[in-house]
């Protein structure tokens, strides 16, 4: 019983430490906050069930993010495309002066948005991202490079970046 309580406390601390990164990763894949929250909830449940099998506790962060990204992709595949009136209104292009960096990141293609988010917001290395996304490191590097270039172009269009 003591061992189970220790595992529960360890898992709870792990999820609390990485919940923001999990949410950001899910939100990078999914278009709605509620869907990202659902994906994180599903990931936590799956991770809890698999937690006893996790051998390397130092790899727990990338393990959690991989589960979260997979859950987000699964949710995206299962979801029927629907758009609420509020979302349709929000999809109208905002004025350039109203755009923040996160809004520009959200405008990136999904594959680029995910690696940019994991790299800049969550601090993952290229190797960690490759592991989380089950992709070769070269693919991760090229997506990150294309995402950076596209962000630069958007910032130039907005008059924020002159290089």
* Farthest-apart Cα atoms in the chain, separation: 61
pLDDT averaged per 10 residues, the chain (length 163):
76 94 93 92 95 88 94 86 53 50 88 92 91 94 95 83 59
Instruction: Give the pLDDT score at 162.
Output: 60
SS3 label, residue 81: coil
CB 92 within 8 A of CB 48: no
For residue 62, the tally of other CB atoms under 10 A from its CB is 20
H-type alpha helices, the chain: 2-29, 33-50, 60-78, 85-90, 101-106, 110-116, 126-133, 137-157
Please say whether the dihedral angle defined by the alpha carbons of residues 44, 49, 50 and 56, taken in this order, is positive or negative: positive
Instruction: Give the pLDDT score at 25.
Output: 93
Instruction: Give the pLDDT score at 93.
Output: 44
pTM: predicted TM-score of the whole model, two decimal places: 0.68
Instruction: Give the pLDDT score at 96.
Output: 45
Q: CA-CA distances (angstroms) from residue 14 to 22, 64, 65, 80, 163?
A: 11, 9, 12, 32, 41
Instruction: Give the pLDDT score at 43.
Output: 96
């Amino acid at each position: 019983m003591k061992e189970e309580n220790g595992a529960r406390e360890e898992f709870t601390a792990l999820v609390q430490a990485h919940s923001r990164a999990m949410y950001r990763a899910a939100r990078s894949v999914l278009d709605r906050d509620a869907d990202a929250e659902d994906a994180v909830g599903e990931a936590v449940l799956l991770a809890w069930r698999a937690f006893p099998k996790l051998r390397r506790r130092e790899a727990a962060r990338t393990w959690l993010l991989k589960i979260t990204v997979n859950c987000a992709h699964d949710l995206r595949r299962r979801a029927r495309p629907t758009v609420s009136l509020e979302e349709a209104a929000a999809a109208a292009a905002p004025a350039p002066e109203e755009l923040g960096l996160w809004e520009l990141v959200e405008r990136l293609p999904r594959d680029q948005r995910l690696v940019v988010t994991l790299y800049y917001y969550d601090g993952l290395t290229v190797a960690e991202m490759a592991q989380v996304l089950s992709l070769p490191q070269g693919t991760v590097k090229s997506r990150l490079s294309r995402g950076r270039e596209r962000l630069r172009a958007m910032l130039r269009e907005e008059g924020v970046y002159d290089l």
